[in-house]
Amino acid sequence: ILNVEQSPQSLHVQEGDSTNFTCSFPSSNFYALHWYRWETAKSPEALFVMTLNGDEKKKGRISATLNTKEGYSYLYIKGSQPEDSATYLCAFVDYKLSFGAGTTVTVRA
């Protein structure tokens, strides 16, 4: 079983503030890392597919970086809005997706 860890488990952010959180994964035999956003009662939505060391991807106010040598990825939310409230999952990809337990973000208005 691959060890994919996300921290913190949850965080509360004031509207307008920026935040970031971490996904750590095995640094050997890296193929790809996925980030998903999962709102309550909805389907997880793919945010980023990251494949190269040093990758930086951006989608609106959300961005992610990747360090495959040390085995971590950061996801950043700039200027948090209430609609950013969700659980953010990372998944290490080999022959399957191995998920972290997620970071639940709550943005307070």
Site for other proteins contains 101 (CB under 8 A): yes
The one among 75, 102, 103, 105 contacting other proteins by CB under 8 A:
102
The one among 12, 16, 46, 61 contacting other proteins by CB under 8 A:
46
Site for other proteins contains 31 (CB under 8 A): yes
Residue 41 sits at φ, ψ, to 5 deg, of 65, 15
Q: Least separation, in Å, of the C-beta of 5 and other proteins?
A: 9
The one among 30, 73, 75, 100 contacting other proteins by CB under 8 A:
100
Site for other proteins contains 94 (CB under 8 A): yes
DSSP characters over 15-46: TT--EEEEEE---SS--EEEEEEE-TTS--EE
DSSP characters over 61-98: TEEEEEETTTTEEEEEESS--GGG-EEEEEEEESSSEE
- Give whichever of 70 and 96 is closer to other proteins, judged by the CB atom: 96
